[in-house]
Amino acid sequence: MAEGAGRARSGSRSKTDRLADHDAIERLADELLPALMAKLGASGLGEMEVREGRWKVRLRRPASSQEASGTSGRRSTDRPSRAQPGHAGHGHSPSAVEKHRPGREARAVSSGNGARPNDGASAPETLPAGRRTVATSPAVGIFHPRTDVRPGAWVRAGDRLGSVDVLGVPQEVVAPVDGVLGASLVESGDAVEYGQELVLIELAGVTSGGQGGGSSGAAEDA
Amino acid sequence: MFRKILIANRGEIALRIVRAARALGIEAVVAYSEADRESLPVQLADEAICVGPADARRSYLSAPAVISAAIVTGCDAVHPGYGFLSEDEGFAEVVRAHELTFIGPPPEVLERFASKEATRRLLAGHGLPMVPGSNGMLRDDGHALEEAERIGFPVLIKPSAGGGGKGMRMVRSPRELETALTIGRSEARAAFGDDSLYMEKWIEDNRHVEVQVAVDRFGHGIHLGERDCSVQRRHQKLLEEAPAPGLSPAARSELCERAIRAVVAAGYENVGTLEFLVDRDGNYYFIEINCRIQVEHPVTEALTGIDLVAMQIRIAAGEPLGIAQADVVSRGHAIEFRINAEDADADFQPQAGIVDRFLAPGGPGVRVDSHVYSGYEVPPFYDSLLAKLIVWGPDRPTAIARSRVALDELLVEGLVTNVPIHQALLANEAFLEGRMTTNLLDRVGGAAFLAAAARA
């Protein structure tokens, strides 16, 4: 947080002003930022800025993630689901097979069910590790998200985000880390496979910088 | 006929079933574990669905995962391949409870043939000769000793469940019996979760000959000839061929006819294999039945021109066989080589890793069933079978000559394989003369066998 910077400039300001600033920063960090992070995550936009009163919040994805977007694995197209019946398979020549070998680590955040509106364009689907992660399916079955937890809500590691129904037996989908619930990558009622990416989690601990002083107070995503 | 089937297996057999389904106009969905994401059947299937992690118990052996996958992909039947859930009557029953069809014998037929001991009694009642053995399971060490002395040493201790040689022990004297029982029980418990053992007379220098059968739902059955699987290493088949070199045509057809008569009478259904031991004098004894498609089925396909996997699917769909025994015509000679990733110099340790280059041989009568391609990474979690090379010729010498050429052509770079063992076999006098017995390779030892071939 911008505690230090705030203090340096706060000499001429009253204690009430400072307390108000702290309240505002706290509100930004706790309420506005998580919601914005979720929005940015779901939108595919590269940058987002919101002004409110004296404060301005700008969120930006690192440039590297934009470059990486083209490499999102072909897995996005061969996720089996009811939405894609009769998927016609892939190239049958050995060379085609070789070309299509995405590295295991390079599997991108993606969905085969068309749940994301901006899929396919320049949507930056990968973020560097540590910014965003994803809750995956524990089993093959039908996905049902929790309806009482909406994108933008804080979740803790281990929190239940929904379930995958395996022959009538629900298997829990849990948040792998603390963070902010992002977009759902599949619809409720969709067929999902083991390990399929289901719900984005924007990682907690992303800092927001708040600056005191009325002139150009900007809280930026570091 | 089915519209869409789920293939609950991996490797070459998953690909083999994809091909059979396609040829029948059925959509093929491959259920795979995370370790097989890049495998060829997954890439060539109409659809693929990940059912669990690399650990087979949570993927290929998980009935809920497999059945859930079949349901969510809209399949109407499940093909279990071989191994994994292929002979699990409990699984077949759950499949049916979910209104899917198990491609194999119906659950009640699987159950009837689940116990090897009960199967031997059943088929003995229908005229098949049995190896002299214990009356039922061995109750304890004392009972085992009594039975061994009645049958006469040497004897073979075998687990009631399972196969693949696990838990089997040959015992030459009463002194060795107690240790063999202890080891046999613990191996059987570990491998099959069931430590009941039985005992058979050990038949020295035996051959392993099996009969391929197919029976439809209407009780119409045919045999598709026999296969000789005597080339084994530690009870694992290495090479199979047909017709069986050690039997006369008359003996072969008598064996096959007795086999099909017995299983039809016993109520078997779908494709299956009856295994027999053949002793030095040509006497044969029934050992067990395999209620599934077998690894070596292409040998029979090469001779008869019949697609056994397609036949298995059609029978499961309730169709009649559509052919009579007289329509099954066997031509020439075929040999199958199991190409395994294993290192003969390191006690046949299975190898895992990337296959840098893979080139399958070709030419008249040459078929390769394999899930391997250049750049494919063999995962360390499953069996070491990389490919099956099946070579047909109008006669055995031609098949052998073509096999030599094909084995020389076959290229597998990046992993050590057992190709040198096969090449050594094709230079071995006992093999060339058709005198291989199941114990020959182990008696000589793999390394010594290779060294002898190098000197020749």
DSSP state of A86: T
Same domain, B139 and B89: no
Q: Tell me which of B183, B201, B219 is where a domain ends.
A: B201
Q: What is the mean pLDDT of residues B316-324?
A: 97
Of B46, B98, B373, the CB nearest to A94: B373
B contacts of A80 (beta carbons < 8 Å): 29, 47-49, 72-73
Q: Is A140 on the interface with B (CB under 8 A)?
A: yes
Of B37, B47, B52, the CB nearest to A87: B47
CB-based burial label for B118 (10 Å; 0-12, 13-18, 19+) = middle
Same domain, B347 and B327: yes
Q: Is B47 on the interface with A (CB under 8 A)?
A: yes
> What are the Cα distances from residue A153, in Å, to A171, A180, A186, A188, B443?
22, 6, 18, 18, 69
* pLDDT in the model for residue B345: 84
* pLDDT in the model for residue A86: 35
Contact B5, B29 (CB under 8 A): yes
Query: pLDDT, tens digit, for every residue of B165-209?
Result: 777 889 999 999 999 999 999 988 888 888 899 998 988 889 999
Query: pLDDT, tens digit, for every residue of B264-288?
Result: 999 999 999 999 999 988 999 999 9
* pLDDT in the model for residue B134: 87
A contacts of B69 (beta carbons < 8 Å): 140, 193
Domain containing B46 — which CATH number? 3.40.50.20
SS3 content of chain A, % helix, strand, coil (to 5): 25, 25, 50
Query: pLDDT, tens digit, for every residue of B63-106?
Result: 999 999 999 999 999 999 999 999 999 999 999 999 999 999 99
Query: pLDDT, tens digit, for every residue of B12-65?
Result: 999 999 999 999 999 999 999 999 999 999 999 999 999 999 999 999 999 999
Contact B392, B334 (CB under 8 A): yes
- Chain A interface, mutation test: which of B37, B43, B68, most A Cβ atoms within 10 Å? B68
Q: How many CB atoms are closer than 10 A to CB B414? A: 18
Of B27, B52, B73, the CB nearest to A194: B52
d(Cα B337, Cα B189) in Å, to the nearest integer?
Answer: 31
**Among the residues of chain A, which ranges form H helices?**
3-9, 15-27, 33-43, 63-68, 75-78, 94-99
Note whether residue B223 is domain-resident.
yes
Give me the residues paired with residue A169 across strands. A166
Catalytic residue among B233, B292, B338, B402: B292
Same domain, B364 and B446: yes
d(Cα B204, Cα B288) in Å, to the nearest integer?
Answer: 18
Note whether residue B127 is domain-resident.
no
Q: Which amino acid is at B132?
A: P
ipTM score here?
A: 0.84
Note whether residue B125 is domain-resident.
no
Note whether residue B120 is domain-resident.
no
Confidence of residue A43 (pLDDT cuts 50, 70, 90): low
Domain containing B317 — which CATH number? 3.30.470.20
Residue B230 pLDDT > 90: yes
Give me the residues paired with residue B157 across strands. B169, B199
Higher pLDDT, A2 or B9: B9
Same domain, B284 and B400: yes
Residues 6+ apart with CB under 8 A from B107: B89, B92, B93, B96
d(Cα B422, Cα B365) in Å, to the nearest integer?
Answer: 18
Q: Which amino acid is at A50?
A: V
Same domain, B233 and B194: no
Number of domains composing chain B: 3
Whether A167 sits inside 8 A of B29 (CB atoms) is no
DSSP state of A189: T
Residues 6+ apart with CB under 8 A from B309: B16, B17, B20, B293, B297
Q: Is A85 on the interface with B (CB under 8 A)?
A: yes
Of B31, B43, B72, the CB nearest to A191: B72
Higher pLDDT, B54 or A40: B54
Q: Tell me which of B158, B182, B201 is where a domain ends.
A: B201
Q: What is the mean pLDDT of residues B217-221?
A: 98
Handedness of CA B149, B154, B159, B162 (dihedral sign): negative
Annotated active-site residue B292? The verdict is yes
Give which of B282, B225, B255 is closest to B127, Cα–Cα: B255
Q: Is A105 on the interface with B (CB under 8 A)?
A: no
Note whether residue B111 is domain-resident.
no
Same domain, B346 and B443: yes
Query: pLDDT, tens digit, for every residue of B333-380?
Result: 999 999 999 998 888 899 999 999 999 999 999 999 999 999 999 999
Whether A86 sits inside 8 A of B27 (CB atoms) is yes
Same domain, B247 and B187: no
Same domain, B242 and B292: yes
Backbone angles phi, psi at B368, to 5 degrees: -125, 120
d(Cα B338, Cα B319) in Å, to the nearest integer?
Answer: 32
Residues 6+ apart with CB under 8 A from A198: A134, A135, A136, A137, A143, A145, A161, A162, A173, A184, A185, A186, A192
Same domain, B305 and B418: yes
Containing structural domain, residue B67: 4-103
d(Cα A188, Cα A199) in Å, to the nearest integer?
Answer: 11
Q: A149 is written with which tokens?
A: 């937890």
Same domain, B223 and B158: no
Note whether residue B108 is domain-resident.
no
B contacts of A194 (beta carbons < 8 Å): 34, 50-53, 59, 65
Whether A85 sits inside 8 A of B74 (CB atoms) is yes
Same domain, B347 and B364: yes
Note whether residue B174 is domain-resident.
yes
DSSP state of B6: E
Residue A88, classed as helix, strand or coil, is: coil
Q: B31 is written with which tokens?
A: 């259920």
Q: Tell me which of B162, B183, B201 is where a domain ends.
A: B201
Q: Is A35 on the interface with B (CB under 8 A)?
A: no
Same domain, B147 and B215: no
Q: What is the mean pLDDT of residues B378-399?
A: 97
Domain containing B143 — which CATH number? 3.30.1490.20
**Residue B41: closest C-alpha in chain A:** A89
> What are the Cα distances from residue B97, in Å, to A37, A210, B72, B102, B254?
46, 61, 16, 10, 40
Whether B50 sits inside 8 A of A140 (CB atoms) is yes
Mean pLDDT: which of A204-213, B131-140, B353-362 is highest? B353-362
d(Cα B153, Cα B133) in Å, to the nearest integer?
Answer: 11
From B375's Cα to the closest Cα of chain A, the distance in A is 7
Note whether residue B123 is domain-resident.
no
